[in-house]
Amino acid sequence: MNRLNIEQLYKDAHALLKGHFLLSSGNHSDTYLQSARVLENPKNAQILANALAEQIRIHDLKIDCICSPALGGIIAGYELARALNVRFIFTERVDGKMTLRRGFEIKENERVLVCEDIITTGGSALEAARCVEEQKGNVVAYAGLANRGFCQRVGMNNPKKPECKLPDNIPLFALEDFIFAMYDPKDCPLCQSGSVAIKPGSRGN
């Protein structure tokens, strides 16, 4: 199988955005990956999820269930669950707190993989993992279609950066590292030049 060119897939789908963005972590960046644009084509979602599933199978990791933090992780997680032939649940924020709702249940010691679309600092994924652990599920891996390079994914030697919130002892699977600058709003050069960060998804982004 030819190696998937993830960056090209994102570029072709106009999912690699340039501008001045406010990330969910509160930081600013000049680049944003809008996975929704890649995943609006179900064929792409399937191709990406199959490639991710293949990596997970190679590592012989037994998974019972995929859990994704809404909204960003849902399509990637659902397609990965299909590829691995396991069930899929999601967590969502209620008054800012990540919660497992809708009657979703996790059995004790069930082996759960937490899947995001993009792993930046891993903050939302970690909050979803906490929900799994509260139900006595066992988080055995994290996955994302792409990794922003703060966390270290399986098979890559880029060291983990201090911003990464994911634990060291649980593997992170991703298809590609997209490494862009990220700024604390206090030191953001784009803010200093007078522009205002926008939340991706608003104003037509």
Interface residues with Zn ion (CB under 5 A) are 28, 188, 190-191, 197
Rank residues 157 and 202 by Cβ distance to Zn ion and give the closer one: 202
Shortest Å, Cβ 120 to Zn ion: 16
Contact predicate 190/30, CB 8 Å: yes
Rank residues 51 and 191 by Cβ distance to Zn ion and give the closer one: 191
Q: What letter does residue 111 receive in the DSSP assignment?
A: E
Handedness of CA 59, 61, 65, 71 (dihedral sign): negative
Rank residues 167 and 185 by Cβ distance to Zn ion and give the closer one: 185
Shortest Å, Cβ 150 to Zn ion: 18
User: Which residues, including other chains, have CB under 8 Å from residue 92's CB and lie 6 or more apart?
Assistant: 69, 70, 71, 98, 99, 101
Residue nearest to Zn ion (CB): 188
Shortest Å, Cβ 166 to Zn ion: 25
Rank residues 99 and 195 by Cβ distance to Zn ion and give the closer one: 195
Structure-token pair, residue 6: 């993830």
Shortest Å, Cβ 19 to Zn ion: 10
User: Which residues, including other chains, have CB under 8 Å from residue 100's CB and lie 6 or more apart?
Assistant: 67, 89, 91, 106, 131, 132, 134, 135
